[in-house]
Amino acid sequence: MFTPKYPRPDMAPPPAATAPTVHTPTPLTPAPAPVVPAASDRPVVQLTPGSALALAAGGGAVVLVVGAVLVSMLLAVAITAMSVAVCAVVLRSLLNQQKGH
């Protein structure tokens, strides 16, 4: 029961030997050199004082908006926690009054 059972060895005949193929090498030709574009073909981005000011103002606006969203989320969590605490105190006082009477 606990002895391993090995599969029988395959009785298929070995594959027939094929005749060797003759390989004739072909002459290699060098690959053409890659074409490097000239420096004048690339577009150049230049920051003017006006665009730099607009970029800084946009970044500042993003920071202010993200900060306002995060502060409002924190305030919502704090208000929810306070309301849950008030509800717990009210329920506790109601249950204590029930025990006393």
Sequence ranges of the domains in the chain = 64-101
| Contact assessment for residue 47 and residue 55, using Cβ atoms and an 8 Å cutoff | yes
Rounded-to-integer distance, Cα 93 and Cα 89, Å = 6
Which pLDDT band, with edges at 50, 70 and 90, does 89 fall under?
very high
Over residues 9-58, the pLDDT tens digits come to 777 666 676 666 777 777 777 777 777 666 566 677 788 889 889 999 99
Rounded-to-integer distance, Cα 30 and Cα 63, Å = 56
The residues, any chain, with a CB within 8 Å of residue 97's CB and separated by 6 or more, are none
In this structure, the chain runs to a length of: 101
Over residues 51-79, the pLDDT tens digits come to 889 999 999 999 999 999 999 999 999 99
